[in-house]
Amino acid sequence: MKGYEFVNCRDFYPHKLKKMFAGINYNNKKSQFLVENFLSLDTETSKLEDGSDGWLYQWMFSYPAQYVNKQLVYGRKPSQLADTLGQIKAVNNLNDNSKLIIYIHNASFDFNYFFDFLEEHFGEKVQILAVDNH
């Protein structure tokens, strides 16, 4: 991909993302900030021929860092994905009032292969907003 640097998740440093005010204010709650950029995540999965077991064997996401080339970060294990997203959350102080949007290709299918890892890593239920069945 032109203009992207390919980075193994072990070598990835989650640069601080530029935040912008999104003007979200529901029911007199604190205003929320969204990161200006977003992640585009894709995973590859496989399953046994009889369909009894499946697994995620590769993932990657684009990370439009602010002051360096755009990065395509990749890894093999769902635990690595959870760790990498945890690094992004920590470095950028993401919380209930400061969020990063992650678009997941084929989320309705692939999300089943890694959401347990996210919940275990972050110690809370994962929130998802699915706007379409595909």
pLDDT tens over the chain, length 134 residues: 567 788 898 998 887 676 665 555 556 666 667 777 778 888 787 777 776 667 667 888 887 655 556 788 888 888 888 899 999 888 888 887 788 888 888 777 777 777 788 888 888 877 676 666 65
Copy the structure tokens of residue 120.
Answer: 């275990």
DSSP letters, 36-79, are SS-EEEEEEEEE-TTSS-EEEEEEEEEE--SSS-EEEEEESSHH
Copy the structure tokens of residue 56.
Answer: 């995620």
In angstroms, rounded to a whole number, what is the distance separating the alpha carbons of residues 14 and 61?
12
**Can you give the pTM of this predicted structure?**
0.77
* Strands of 32-35's sheet in order across: 19-24, 32-35, 98-99
